[in-house]
Amino acid sequence: MPSSSAGTSLRISEVFYSLQGETSRVGIPTTFIRLTGCPLRCGYCDTSYAFTGGSSMSLDDIMHTVHAQPTRHVCVTGGEPLAQKTCIALLKRLCDEGYSVSLETSGALDVSAVDTRVMKVLDIKTPASGEVSKNLWSNLKHLQPHDEIKFVLCDEDDYQWAKQTLLAHPPAAGCAILFSPAQGQIEARELAEWILRDGLQVRLQVQLHKLLWGNQQGK
């Protein structure tokens, strides 16, 4: 990984090239920029290695690494990427240079300053995550039709809570709703049956990268 040069920098856990495993962009070759640090501690977190460590990289160094990858799709993730204020500048620069950019955020931090060209994937925390109190509900008013809302569900109580949340906090028109089973807690088939039973207009999401490579870091 390139060393940081003078100028604005970010703490980066890893930059890697893989297939997008989630969201409506699933299966698309993508460059992932994983930022270090997260103020949340969700019980099902699968990227706890990104809580600490990493390397300081300038925006120029990050862009140099992104330019070397054979794709125009970039996903900025974490940890919680918005925990580092310079993430906003990174997102804008990626958009300015013509990349198709998505941001994976917990929804616990303000998204109002995120470039409107970015596809925001807002992960609303359920009761079983242990972090439901951290949801910043005002973020929903900043979502656009190209943005997406994700619920990671641990049990049927989480599922029922997500249903009620969608009624209490209607998303922007056209905003995709993703229901994802927490790995090792409920089966995707079980969640699929609940969705069909209740006639929900949501998208079942399974993590393609884990089906292909398991929990391998950098995939």
The verdict on residue 1 lying in a domain is no
Number of domains in the chain: 1
Reference 118, options 132, 130, 133, 100; nearest CA is 100
pLDDT over threshold 90, residue 187: yes
Q: Are 112 and 142 in contact (CB under 8 A)?
A: yes
CATH number at residue 52: 3.20.20.70
Looking up tokens 């990268």, which residue turns up?
A: 209
Q: What letter does residue 154 receive in the DSSP assignment?
A: -
The verdict on residue 218 lying in a domain is no
Q: How far is CA 41 from the centre of its chain?
A: 15
The verdict on residue 2 lying in a domain is no
Q: Measure the CA angle with vertex 105, ends 102 and 202; round to 5°.
A: 75
Domain that holds residue 98: 9-213
**Which has the minimum average pLDDT: 33-42, 129-138, 169-178?**
169-178
pLDDT category at 142 given cuts 50, 70, 90 is very high
* 162-180 residue pLDDT tens: 999 999 998 887 899 999 9
So what's the pLDDT on residue 1? 40
Q: How far is CA 31 from CA 16, 66, 101, 205, 219, in A?
A: 6, 7, 10, 20, 10
So what's the pLDDT on residue 5? 38
Q: How far is CA 203 from CA 54, 57, 71, 119, in A?
A: 33, 36, 26, 17
So what's the pLDDT on residue 160? 98
The verdict on residue 219 lying in a domain is no
Concatenating the DSSP letter of every residue in 42-58 gives -TT-S-GGGSS--EEEE
So what's the pLDDT on residue 110? 98
What is the tally of helices (H) and strands (E) in the chain? Answer: 5, 9
So what's the pLDDT on residue 216? 76
Looking up tokens 């079983």, which residue turns up?
A: 128
* 64-121 residue pLDDT tens: 999 999 999 999 999 999 999 999 999 999 999 999 999 999 989 999 999 999 999 9
pLDDT over threshold 90, residue 219: no
The verdict on residue 123 lying in a domain is yes
Mean pLDDT, the chain, as a whole number? 93
